Chains A and B, each alone.
Chain A
Amino acid sequence: MSETKAKTQGQVVQTTGHAWDGDLQEFNNPLPTWWLWAFYATVVFAVVYWIFYPAWPVGGTFTKGVMNTITFTDSDGSQKTTHWNTRSLLLKELQEGKHAARSREYTEKVAGASYQEILADPEMMEFTRSMAKGVFGDNCAACHGAGGTGVVGLFPNLADDAWLWGGSVEEIETTLREGRYGFMPAFKSALTDRQLDDVASYVLSLSGEAVDADAATRGEKIFQTSEGGCYYCHTSSGTGLKSQGAANLTDQIWTVADVSGAATPEDRKAAVKRVISNGVDRRMPAWSERLSDAQIKLLTVYVHELGGGQ
C-alpha cells in the first residue's frame, strides 16, 4: 500500500495514497493489530472446527468430523459409536454423567428398600418425591393432572383421601402394575325414570344431602334389594367394596358424579342420576410392562404421599 500523509486538525493521518479530482484523499484507519489477529485466530479456529466437528453439507449428507466420536448405550442395550453430535452427547451424559450416577445410586437404594423403610426415611422420601415427580409427569399426568387431582367423572383424584381400589402402598402398587377396570352397569333400561330419580335421592341422602324423604325411602328399597342390586358392590351401608372399585357413597367425595360442581339440589340429583343411568366404564392401563420395577416403586410412594395414603 502506498502511503502518503495528510494533516488534519494538527494530526498526521495516513491515507490510502489515492487522490481523486486532484486533492480528494481517503484516510486509512486500519483495525487495531490485536483486533486483526483475533480475527485471524477465529478463522483458524473455524478451520480446525470443520476438521473435528460436523460442519459442511455435502449433497444429501455432511462432513462428520474426524477423531471425534461418542460411544453410548443405545435403548436396546448395545454399545453404539457415532460421530460427535449433541443428541448422542446428551444420551451419554444421561447415562454416564455425574448427576446420572448420583440419581442411579439413590434409585437403587430406594429399589432395594421396603415400603416401610422408605416411608420412614426422610432422605429417601425426598429423593422419591423429586424423582417420581418426573416419572409421574411423563406417564400419569396426562390423565391424572400434574398435581394428581384428576378429572371428576373421568380420572380419579389421587391427592385426596378417597381410594376406590385401596390406598395402602401394596394396593397402589397393584393398581399401577395391573391396571384397573372400573365398571358399573347402566340402569337406564332396567329402571324407570322415576326409579332412577328415587335411587339418586337415596344416594345423595347417604352423604347427608337434603332430599325428598319419600323419594329416598323408595330409592332405598331399590338400592338394597335385587330390584336395583346396588348393594352388591356399594354394600348395604353404602361404603363400597374395594375389590370392585365401588365408590364410597357416604363420604363427601364424588369421584364420578359431579356433585361438587352442581349449584342446586336438582342439578346434584341430575348428576347422580346421569351416572346411574349411563353406568361407569373406566380403565387404567397396566404399567408393569412399560415401567421398571424401580419406577413403579417410586410412583407408588409418590402417589401414596400425595394425599397421605391409607
Chain B
Amino acid sequence: MEADSEVLYQTRIPVYPRSVKGRFRNIKWAILVFAYSVYFLLPWLRWERQVGPDQAVLFDIADRKFYLFGLVAHAQDLFWLTGFLLVAALLLFFVTGIAGRVFCGYFCFQTLWTDLYMLIERRVQGDRVARIRLDKAPWSASKVLRKGLTHVLWLLAAFWTGLTFTLYWADAPQLIVKWFTGSAPFAAYATTLFLTATTYVMAGLAREQVCTYMCPYARFQSVMFDADTRIVAYDVARGEGAAGRHKVTRDLKQREQRRQQGVGDCIDCGYCVQVCPTGIDIRDGLQVQCISCALCIDACDNIMDSLGWGRGLIRYTSEKQARGEHSRIWKPRTIAYGLVLVAAIAGLVWSVSSQAPLELSVVQVRQPLFVRLSDGRVQNSYELHLENKTDEPMQLVVMMRGLPGAELDVGKLTSFELPPQRSLRVLARVRWDSTHKVKGSRSFEFDVIPQYRQELGMISAPATFYMPGSEH
C-alpha cells in the first residue's frame, strides 16, 4: 500500500530541527516562559470575593457567571466575548499587515507547545544529528528507552496542559483533588483526555503539518501581506553574488577572494535549513510554510559573526526594502486596520466599564394577556427579571409611571431584598380603569428603586399595557 500514499498524499518528510542560540531564540524563550506562567499558574491565583468563588479566573458554566479578577461577566454580557474576539481578529490583521506572521512565530500555542516538545526531545535524544542517527539505528534497549521516555514526557506535558485547561472551569484546588480521587464530573475527565490527546498529537506528532495543512489563520494571513510587510528573507544579492553561493574552500576563504570570483556571502552551510521547524529553505524565497519564527536569522547571524562578515544575510525586511526601496509602515491599510482596532477596543472597554449594577427586563404575561376585574378595571400581569450584579444586597422597591390612575400590585413584595450576584423574577399586576378612552396598547415604564444605596440610581424598563376594546 506504500505506492498509494505516494500518489494520494505527500508523505511527511521528517524534520529534525537543530537547536540554535541567538536574539530571536531568546525573545521566543521569554515569551514562552511568560505565556506558560500565565496559562499554568492563572487557575491557582486566588482572588478574595465577597460573593462567589475566591479564584481570580473562573468560568462557571453551571451558574452562568464568568469571573475575571474584579469583573464578573453574566450570561447577558456574553457579547463581550464577541467584542474580545473581534479585537483579537483586528489585532491579528493589524499586526500581520505591518510585521507579517508574528503571531505564528512567537505567540501561537502550536509554536509554543512544539517548542516545549522539541526541548524535551532534545534533552532526551540529543540534538539533530543524534536524533537522525537514533531514528536510523535498529531497535535496541537504549533506543526503546530514549524514544519511550520522550513520549512519556510528552504525554505528561500534554496531560498537565489538558488538566490545567479544566481548572479554569471550576475551583482549581477542589477540582484537582476530585480529579485524582475519581469524583470529578465526567466533563472534567473528558476535557482533560481530549486536550491531552490533541496536545500530544499536534505538538508531538503533527507539528509543522498543523501550520501547513490544517491552520486557516496561516493561510489567510498570507493575503494580508503586501510589499511593505516585514518578512524573514534571504538577501539574495549579497548571498548569491554573481556566481551563486559556495561553500568555504581553500580558494574561497576570504571575503575578498569570494568577491573577486563573484561568489556571494552565503557559505551554503545549511544551518538555516537545519534549524527551521517547518523544514524549508528560506533561501528559496517567501513560502507558505514559513511561520516567521526567525530562527534562521539567529542561525545565519551566528555563522556571519564567526566569519566576521556582518549580520543580516537573512533578516527581517520587506519586499520593497529588499529591492532597495523605501518601505512604509503607515500605509492606508494599516491606518484603516488601526482605526477600526482602536474603535473596537474603545467600544469593548466602554461596554465593560459601564456594566449596569442592576439589570431589569420586563416580560408581559401573555396567557391571559388581560383580565377584567369585578370593578370593571382591566388587569395586566408582568414578570420582572431583576439581576443584582454587585457584591452587596439591594433592597428594592418596584414602581410604575406613565398610566395615570393605574394601580400596581406586587403582593407582599412591596420592598424586597435581592441578594448580591443573584437574579430574581417578580410578578407584578397592573390594574387600570377601562373608562379611559385609550384602547389597545399603551406604553409605560416600570421603575425599580434601590433603597439605601443612592449611588445606584433608579433603573427603568419599558412595558406595554393592553386595554381591550369596549365590550358593549
Query: Which A positions have Cβ atoms within 8 angstroms of B?
Result: 3, 5, 11-14, 28-30, 32-33, 116, 119-120, 122-123, 125-126, 129-130, 146-149, 157, 159-162, 248, 251-253, 260, 305, 307-309
Q: Judge whether B411 and A119 touch: CB under 8 Å.
A: yes
* 30 contacting pairs across A/B (C-beta < 8 A): A12-B3, A14-B3, A28-B4, A32-B9, A33-B1, A33-B5, A122-B416, A125-B411, A126-B425, A129-B425, A130-B425, A146-B367, A147-B368, A149-B368, A149-B371, A157-B371, A159-B371, A159-B379, A160-B372, A160-B374, A161-B379, A162-B374, A251-B374, A252-B374, A252-B376, A253-B373, A253-B374, A260-B372, A307-B429, A308-B409
Enumerate chain B interface residues (CB-CB to A < 8 A).
1, 3-9, 365, 367-368, 371-376, 379, 381, 409, 411-413, 416-418, 424-427, 429, 471
| 19 extra A-B contacts, CB within 8 A, seeds A14-B4, A122-B416, A161-B373 | A12-B6, A30-B4, A119-B412, A120-B413, A122-B426, A125-B426, A125-B427, A129-B425, A147-B368, A149-B368, A159-B368, A159-B379, A159-B381, A160-B372, A161-B374, A260-B372, A307-B379, A308-B409, A308-B429
Number of A-B contacts (CB under 8 A): 85
* Contact pick for B1, options A30, A157, A309, CB 8 Å: A30
Q: B residues within 8 A CB of A147?
A: 365, 367-368
Q: Report the minimum CB–CB distance from A80 to chain B (whole Å).
A: 25
Please, how many angstroms separate the alpha-carbon atoms of A14 and B3 in the complex? 7
- For the complex, what is the distance from the CA of A120 to the CA of B273, rounded to whole Å? 77
Tell whether A13 pairs with B375 under 8 Å between CB atoms, given A122-B418, A149-B368: no
C-alpha gap A29/B1 in the complex (Å): 11
Could you say which of A29, A116, A161, A309 contacts B8, with CB atoms under 8 Å apart?
Answer: A29
CA gap between A13 and B3 in the complex, in Å: 9
Question: Min CB distance, B450 to chain A, in Å?
Answer: 14
Q: How far is the CB of B420 from chain A (nearest CB, A)?
A: 13
Instruction: Give A62 to B374 CA distance when docked, in angstroms.
Output: 63
Measured CB to CB, the closest approach of chain B to A52, in angstroms, equals: 17
Q: With a CB–CB cut-off of 8 A, which chain A residues contact B372?
A: 160, 252-253, 260
Q: Which residues of B contact A30 (CB under 8 A)?
A: 1, 4
In this complex, which of B371, B381, B412 has the most chain A Cβ atoms within 10 angstroms of its Cβ?
B371
Query: Which residues of the partner chain A approach B413 to less than 8 Å between Cβ atoms?
Result: 120, 122, 125
The distance in angstroms between the C-alpha atoms of A28 and B3, with both chains bound, is 11
Please report the C-alpha to C-alpha distance between residue A93 and residue B376 in the assembled complex, in whole angstroms: 48
B471 and chain A: residue at smallest CB distance:
A260
A3/B3 in contact, CB under 8 A = yes
CB neighbours of A12 from chain B (8 A) = 3, 6-7
* Least CB distance, A165 to chain B, in whole angstroms: 15
Chain B residues whose C-beta falls within 8 Å of the C-beta of A260 in the assembled complex: 372, 471
CA distance A129 to B429 in the complex (A): 14
Minimum CB–CB distance for A302 against chain B, Å? 10
Q: Which chain A residue lies CB-closest to B374? A: A251
Distance from B384 Cβ to chain A, minimum over Cβ atoms (Å):
10
B9 neighbours in A (Cβ, 8 Å): 32
B373 touching A14, Cβ below 8 Å: no
In the complex, what's the smallest C-beta–C-beta distance from A188 to chain B, in angstroms? 28
A123 B424 Cβ-Cβ under 8 A: yes
| B375 touching A252, Cβ below 8 Å | yes
Residues of chain A contacted by B375 (CB below 8 angstroms): 251-252
Shortest beta-carbon distance, A29 to chain B, in Å?
A: 7
Most buried by B among A29, A32, A125, A157: A125
Separation of A159 and B424 alpha carbons in the complex (Å) = 22
Which residues of the other chain, B, contact A305 by a CB distance below 8 angstroms? 411, 427
Which one of B365, B374, B417 has the greatest number of beta carbons of chain A within 10 Å? B374
Cβ of B280 to closest chain A Cβ, rounded Å: 24
Q: Do B373 and A252 have beta carbons less than 8 Å apart?
A: yes
